[in-house]
Amino acid sequence: MVHIERNFAGDPHASHGYWGPPTSVANFCEEDYGVTYWVAEVVNSFTNLAYVYWAFKTLSPGERLWSSTAFPNVALFFVGVTSFAYHLTLKYSTQICDDLSMFWVCAAIIYELYTIDQSPTARLLFGSTLTVVLSVISAAHYKMYQLWLHNTTFILLVTAIWPRVLFLIHRRFQGPEKQYWLGRFRVGGLCFLAGFVVWLIDGAACGWLRDARNSIGLPWAFALELHGWWHILTALGAGYCIRVTKQLTRGSGSA
């Protein structure tokens, strides 16, 4: 039996929006088509511009989004685009694109972090293995119509990032430079943790949040669309992580 993990499947306008009834496995606290006929979740859609902004903001001087060194930036850019499409439509196909983009932005960072100073052959082997493993998981996730595999994989990928970053900062930097980049990474980690907390609250306290939004009215009610804050905070966290990763792969320099 298919288990639909949806907070509010019965929103009054959900079946009458431009993109049709939601088919995604997950649905969030923002009321479906509550603002406009054209966009399923307005705040959850447009806060994804934060990912696009940080994809460009974290490019190194002279680097372009299509540069061979900018794979993490490209991956973050597609997180923004696919997540926008997902919250715009609430369709299963766009949800899958969003889910998989989260895998690949982590994979891009992991590849950079774990292949520092490795030979071309070792880099190719590591990248190929990571690609094959995530491709199999991605295919299974698409077929199984659930969230647990996605959530578990994403947690494991994030967990592979932060210890490696800390190890490399301590190994490659000294003195004030080390303290600076440790501070940058801590800020990014705290942003990501704060985003996770508001994501949990958005699901656990959705009824209260909806009542509060109805009481205060627009535009202030938008501030209580907590999944949108997840987008903003995790975009900021990812931006800091990419910036630190680029500094580590260069091996020297400062802000």
Task: Summarize the annotated binding site for Ca(2+) as residue ranges.
Answer: 30, 41
Residue 5 DSSP code: E
Within 8 A by CB and 6+ apart from 159, the residues are none
The number of CA neighbours under 13 Å toward the Cβ of 119 is 3
**What is the helix (H) or strand (E) element at residue 6, kind and residue range?**
strand 5-6
| Annotation: binding site for Zn(2+) | 87, 227, 231
Residue 13 DSSP code: T
Give the three-class secondary structure for 149: helix
| Annotation: binding site | 30, 41, 87, 227, 231
Burial class, 117, CB count within 10 angstroms (exposed 0-12 / middle 13-18 / buried 19+):
exposed
Q: Which two tokens stand for residue 107?
A: 């994979």
